[in-house]
Structure formats: structure tokens, C-alpha cells
Amino acid sequence: MNEKIETDILIIGVGIAGGTTALKLADAGHNVTVITRANEPKKSNTYWAQGGIIYTSPDDNPDLFTQDILHAGAGHTYPKAAKILAEEGPAVLKEILIDRVNVPFDLNKDGELDVVMEAAHSVPRIIHATDATGRAIEIAMLNVIKDHPNITLLTGHTAVDLLTTNHHSKDRMSLYEPPSCVGAYVFDRKERMVKRILARKTILATGGLGNIFLRTTNPKGARGDGIAMAYRAGARVINTEYIQFHPTTFHHEMAPNFLISEAVRGVGARLVHEDGTPFMQKYDPEWKDLAPRDVVARSIRQEMIERDIPNVYLDLHSYVDQSEIKSHFPNIAERCMAYGIDISKDLIPVVPGAHYSCGGVWVDEWGKTSLDQLYAVGEVACTGVHGANRLASTSLLEGLVWGARAAKDVANSLGDAPSINETIPPWNDTGQFEPDPLLIGQDMSTIQHVMWNYVGLVRAGYRLQRALRELRHLETEIERFYRVSQMTDDLIGLRNAVRTAVIVTTAALANKQSIGCHYREDAVE
């Protein structure tokens, strides 16, 4: 087993953003190494996206789309980034998803793409593949990626840390040169060893951080790996207090977190208590259940606190035709049924959950981070598009557009990039102890509870300070334990989760105003 791998281009993660970068570069004739921590690569954040992806329609235009993005972003969106997304999005979507990987988007009765409306969009512009758009995209993309002759896909490989000249090089003089990313230390789960992947260009595409919260719509792997690694490597990380919470995550003792799409309320379902009484009219008499996402999520929280109840419910069957339920939501129906909930006749238990990180690793319009030769694309990155709050269905498109842009920049600048850095030593394996899964589970659960209760939907300075004290103490313990333990994927995730939790909490404490999805009950105007 070779401990060292050399590659021109290393991509960490294979959701829509990493997949797009890989595909564009490989199609242009470059050899690319893609790693994913999943043994089954399709289970990325992209895979679980239910809503749709923004395309366009005859009533739409880039200016209108830009305005909608800026409006959602609560004055904090970077207009240049919003404009890029609006102007380039439809063409990139057509080129990659429709023409290159042939995603089976739903068609209307005339055989054309079925374009629908979503909350906070001025016109219909969203296309979908029933209620499992992300899954359709990920499967189509991976079908092409896994057989591409220019792509080496390494599954079951978890990035441990980014390699930088100033942190890792044996050449002492590199300390005086500008820092640069030269690849990553990567844990091969099957061989149980840490390898060096030395690369001339590295692209982070690790997805989000929802799983550092107790309730989330994200899969288990969304534990802030990319943000923590980039932070340790010295890259700028911004806007991390802006965590978008989704109002409706399926709530069942035995079930993993999963999203119940906003589209369910879009067709008429209502939020109710166990006896079927709706409550949203109390909080927003005009929009009721279709009030903005953050308003609905905070209202649910308030009901849960006041009534001391673990969840509220979505009532679909009292308000929506059976035929519509079946045709629109086959995936949600199947997943709920696995836990004994028949959405055509039962109430669906739901709670709010962390959904999307609007901030992340700062990148420019080409996906370049502040660290030389390191790029970031997708949810791990912060392009400025989402500002302080994200417009629904923009994230897949952002992954696509910045994935393609990063590929273009990498291809254009590869000739000038430094050659493989040979001064990086093999991993120094000091870990002797088998990590105790109970300890890892307990620490992860502490992080999730602290984040949910003190850094969640409604924040206040005294709670954030308390969270920071607890998280810092925990981080010291975890870091000590990490140094003496044998490597596992869970241990890597725990270390990243606590670092990301500290980053998010520090940002939330520093921002004393309520803006977008960062809501402080002690806000100063």
C-alpha cells in the first residue's frame, strides 16, 4: 500500500460542487484525484436535497433573479456574486446537468421542463425531479464520474488536515515564503492508515456543518470538516453565524434526521398540534404557514417551549388531495412510512433543524480562498451569494456555477502553479490508544446539545458566552485525546465538529445585531 500519492489536482468531496469541478477538469483532459469519506459516495449533502434547482423561465431574467437573491440576503449579500449566479446559472445548468449528465428532471404535459414557483421567488424558475432532486443529480453525476478515465475516485478516504508549506514542510526556509496549500493528509479507512496526497491544486468541497446541531436536515457527515481544516490551515472563514434553520425536520426517536420539504406547505399542508389545531396564524396572520422560513422555525420553537412538547406536526391529508400527495411526495412518503407514518392519513411529527451554512471559507469569484493554491466550492465556501440568509433552491446552483468557475481557474493557472512539494514528511503516527466510541459519542452529543440550545434559532449573549466556555473546554479535551488515539473517521469528525462549533459561536457572539437568519433576542440596533 503506497503511503504517498502525487496528483496535479486533489478534490475533497464529491457532491454537486466537487463533482462539477472534477467533471469539467477531467473533460478538459486533466487528471484529477477525488476523495470522499463515504464508502458509498452518493450519500453527500447534495443527495439529500429535496427541493429543486433554479433554472429559468420565459418570465425570468438575471436582474429579477439577482434582486430576489439580494432581498433574501438581508442587505448582506455580495451583489457581484449574486449577479454571477443569476447570469451564468441557467447556461451552466443546461450544459452540465441536462446535456452532460442527463439528470431526469420532471417534464410537464407538453414534454417541457416543469418549472415551478417557490417561496420568495418573484417568478417560477425552479426545476425538480419529484421530491428528490438532489438524489437524481448526484446519481447522474456519479454515473459519469466513476467511469471517467481522467478521474481517480478514492472512496472511504477522510481528509485529516490540509498540507501547507508553512505548517508541514521540512524545509525551514518555507516559513519565510507566502503560505501555500500543497495537498492533504488523508485517512484511508480500509487500510487504517494516513496517506499524504501531494497536489499542486487542492479543492475543498466537503459540504456543510448541520450535524454540529442536535436537530438538522443534513446527513451525519456534515460536521464542518472543511471549515475546520481551512481554519487550521490559515484560510479566512467568514459569516459563520448565518446558519439557516429549516422549520420542518422529521422527528422520530428511531429516525435519522431528514427534511420534510417546504413544498409540502407550498401545496397547502399546515403546521398543527397533536389535536389538529393550526397555530401559525398567531405569528403571521397574513402568510401563516408560508411565512419566511426563520419566522416559521422560531414560531415552532416558541410553541414547543410554551407547551413543553417535543415536536409539532404537519397535517397534509386534511388539506391536500390524495392524488397530489402521492404524485408530489413519493420520497417523503416512503421515508415516513419506514417509521410507521402514513402521510396520506397521519400527522407528520416535525421540529426545526439546522439546514444550511450561509457562511464558510471565504472565496473570490473563481472559488479561490485566501490561501494560495486552495479553492473551496459548494456549501463549505462563502462566495457572498447567500449574505445573511439564503434564497430557497440557490445552493445547488451555486455549487454548480462555482464548481465550473473553479475548474476554469485551475485549468488556466495550473501551468504556473508550483510543482509537487517533496518536502512534506509522512504522517507522524503517535496514536496508541483505540479511541473509545462512548467517549466520542458523548462528546459529539454535548457539542450538538450546546449548539442547539445556546447557538440555535434564538441567541443571546449570555448563552453564547456559556456555549463558548463549554466548547473551548471540550476542544482542549478532544485535542488531547486526538493526539494519543489511533485515527478513525469519527475522531476526525469530532475534532472538526468542536472547532467548527467554536468558530460559529465566536461569530454569533461578535455579531450583536439580528440580521437574516442570525437572530438575537438581545440585539442592539
Catalytic residue IDs: 293
- Three-state secondary structure of 503-521: HHHHHHHHCCCCECCECEC
> 13 — alpha (psi -120 to 50), left (phi > 0) or beta?
left
Q: Residue 261 or residue 383: which is nearer to ligand SIN going by CB?
A: 261
Is residue 492 classed as helix, strand or coil in its secondary structure? helix
Q: How many residues bind ligand SIN (CB under 6 A)?
A: 7
* Closest CB 314 distance from ligand SIN, rounded Å: 12
Residue (92 or 371) nearer to ligand SIN, CB: 92
What are the angstrom distances between the C-alpha of 296 and each of 50, 121, 217, 389?
Answer: 19, 18, 16, 14
Asked if residue 113 lies in contact with residue 133, where contact means CB atoms within 8 angstroms, the answer is no
**At its nearest, how many Å lie between ligand SIN and the CB of residue 48?**
10
Of the listed pieces 173-181, 184-192, 259-267, 473-481, which binds ligand SIN according to CB under 6 A?
Answer: 259-267
Q: Compare residues 13 and 399 and give the one whose CB is closer to ligand SIN.
A: 399
Conformational region of residue 136, where left means phi above 0, alpha means psi within -120 to 50, and beta covers everything else: alpha
Work out whether 263 is an interface residue with ligand SIN (CB under 6 A): yes
β pairing state of 374-376 and 193-204: parallel
338 DSSP assignment:
T
The SS3 call for residue 472 is helix
Selected from 33, 46, 50, 299, the binder of ligand SIN by CB under 6 A is: 50
Interface segment toward ligand SIN; rule CB under 6 A; list 4-12, 63-71, 258-266, 461-469: 258-266
Among 262, 443, 475, 489, binds ligand SIN (CB under 6 A): 262
Residue nearest to ligand SIN (CB): 51
Only one of the segments 22-30, 33-41, 222-230, 255-263 lies at the binding site for ligand SIN (rule: CB under 6 A); that segment is 255-263
State which of residues 51, 73, 378, 387 lies at the interface with ligand SIN (CB under 6 A): 51
Of 344-403, binders to ligand SIN (CB under 6 A) are 392-393
- Closest distance to ligand SIN from the beta carbon of 66 (Å): 18
Query: Which range in 26-34, 80-88, 249-257, 261-269 contacts ligand SIN by CB under 6 A?
Result: 261-269
| Comparison of 32 and 358: residue with beta carbon closer to ligand SIN | 358
User: Sign of the C-alpha dihedral, residues 68, 87, 111, 316?
Assistant: negative
Task: Answer yes or no: are the C-beta atoms of 281 and 384 closer than 8 Å.
Answer: no
Give least dist CB 411 to ligand SIN, A.
30
Minimum CB separation from ligand SIN for residue 100, in Å? 23
423: which DSSP letter?
Answer: T
Structural contact between residues 515 and 74, judged by C-beta atoms closer than 8 angstroms? yes
Question: What is the C-alpha separation between 496 and 15, in angstroms, rounded?
Answer: 19
Is there a contact between 13 and 44 (Cβ–Cβ < 8 Å)? yes
DSSP three-state, residue 374: strand
Q: In whole angstroms, how close is the CB of 355 to ligand SIN at the nearest point?
A: 6
Which CB, 296 or 507, lies closer to ligand SIN?
Answer: 296
Name residues whose C-beta falls within 8 Å of residue 192's C-beta, 6 or more positions apart in sequence: 486, 487
| Nearest residue (CB) to ligand SIN, 393 versus 511 | 393
Copy the grid coordinates of residue 442: 458523548
- Distance in Å, CB of 384 to ligand SIN, minimum: 18
Q: Which backbone phi and psi does 277 adopt, to 5 degrees?
A: -80, 125
Residue 129 vs 407, nearer CB to ligand SIN: 129
CB 126 within 8 A of CB 54: yes
Nearest to 403 by CA among 34, 75, 29: 34
Least distance in Å: CB of 443 to ligand SIN?
A: 29
Q: Which positions from 429 through 488 interact with ligand SIN, judged by CB under 6 A?
A: none
| 130 is an interface residue for ligand SIN by CB under 6 A | no
Could you tell me whether strands 381-382 and 360-362 are parallel, antiparallel, or unpaired per DSSP bridges?
parallel
CB of 261 to ligand SIN, least distance (A): 3
Cell numbers representing residue 427 in the block? 504522517
* Cβ closest to ligand SIN, residue 182 vs residue 280: 280
Q: Which is nearer to ligand SIN, 13 or 247 (CB)?
A: 247
Q: Compute the least distance from the CB of residue 394 to ligand SIN, in Å.
A: 7
DSSP H helices in 9-120:
16-27, 45-48, 62-72, 79-93
- In DSSP terms, 157 is beta-bridged to 188
- Set of cell numbers at residue 69: 437573491
Q: CA 165, CA 423: separation in Å to the nearest integer?
A: 8
Q: Given the rule CB under 6 A, which of 225-233, 257-265, 472-480, 514-522 is the region that contacts ligand SIN?
A: 257-265
- Which residues, at least 6 apart from 335, have a Cβ–Cβ distance to it below 8 Å? 250, 258
Question: Does position 53 bind ligand SIN by CB under 6 A?
Answer: no
Across-strand partners of 197? 5, 184
- CB closer to ligand SIN out of 13 and 352: 352
For the chain, the farthest-separated pair of C-alpha atoms sits apart, in whole angstroms, at 71
> Which of these ranges, 86-94, 139-147, 260-268, 485-493, lies near ligand SIN under the rule CB under 6 A?
260-268
**What would the x/- binding string for ligand SIN be over residues 210 to 249, using CB under 6 A?**
----------------------------------------
Q: Which of residues 78-97 bind ligand SIN (CB under 6 A)?
A: none
Binding region for ligand SIN (CB under 6 A): 50-51, 261-263, 392-393
